[in-house]
Structure 1
């Protein structure tokens, strides 16, 4: 068993764990919907920017996995599942907020998924084109991840609260990011560099998010901002 299969198996394992983390976030939303003692809305402080970017990140890995030779099963199927779960979170955000922006984001996610599935089943004759497109998407999404998570980080810092943000999701995705970096190295830089770029960007943002969970529980500034946020 060479390093490709070893790190591919490890990455699949941690991707499945990250999927559980994303499901944990979805479950947090569902619990908040039925908990009448919570004053905040079910998706309070969840950045739609962040989850849109997360959706596109999983989606781009999904496309990239079936656009390269050989077909990368380690990458495709776990990312497809994650894409579906994050898409459900976008649906819950739209249901909760009922605004035009969240509706447009959810609609675009459905369209992307349908196009991606079409590429999976009928795009084998456009492998090179699919790889080029997915590489561009991954590079763009790496930039959007930095922007999207900066927006989430700013929301937490300004409010002094993590709201509906789920810690497990960040922890599990961080573990997946580290394994993705190792997997990308085993694939060779010529193929794996887009994955490494996105994983490093994502891992950096998760470190900041995880620190903020500690910050909101220990900082006097966070407490004051939290009190002000609840009064406003």
Structure 2
């Protein structure tokens, strides 16, 4: 399992949930990984077989200078930036009528502007890579709608549109831009959803597979988008949802 050997990956929102699952899989696949987040939280480096290396770097994706510093630090540490996963995101549920403007702004600033900042900071570095990969992260709620998800759903729909435009712009530089769209996953926000019995009961019956997805299943899809096998996949939204019907 060394499909990413010799490559450097940057994963924002990488200290917990799906982000950490992706970072760990990239390490297992031989990549050197920069795990980035606003705070270190409970994250601690773990021994990794195969010689891959991992480091933590703080970032606030809402701040363009912070995103630029992250990419420069990754290049300085490992010599190159080949894969960037713009995964950092927040959710602030609430009906439109009652949603606090500050919560709306927080979601848009993090989930949309944060992706823009990371992509803009990453492109000059990815252009120097032989096979640059930029992966954004959406959600099932980017293309399907649920009450109370106005801010989060709008932000993820924007990420999908942004990624498709980005793919057209960077293709000539040998960079691909694709979007990973998890369904209901038993990690991070998915755990909170499953613990809310009233809400979970509404969504549980919509899963053709009869279960939530696992973080490692999303990570496998991310490895595909990050590796050589996806060289002719560009501007694509890859749903990992077990056959969700809605």
Q: Name the TM-score class by shorter chain.
A: 0.3 to 0.5
Higher strand fraction (1 or 2)? 2
- Please identify the structure whose Cα radius of gyration is greater: 1
Higher helix fraction (1 or 2)? 1
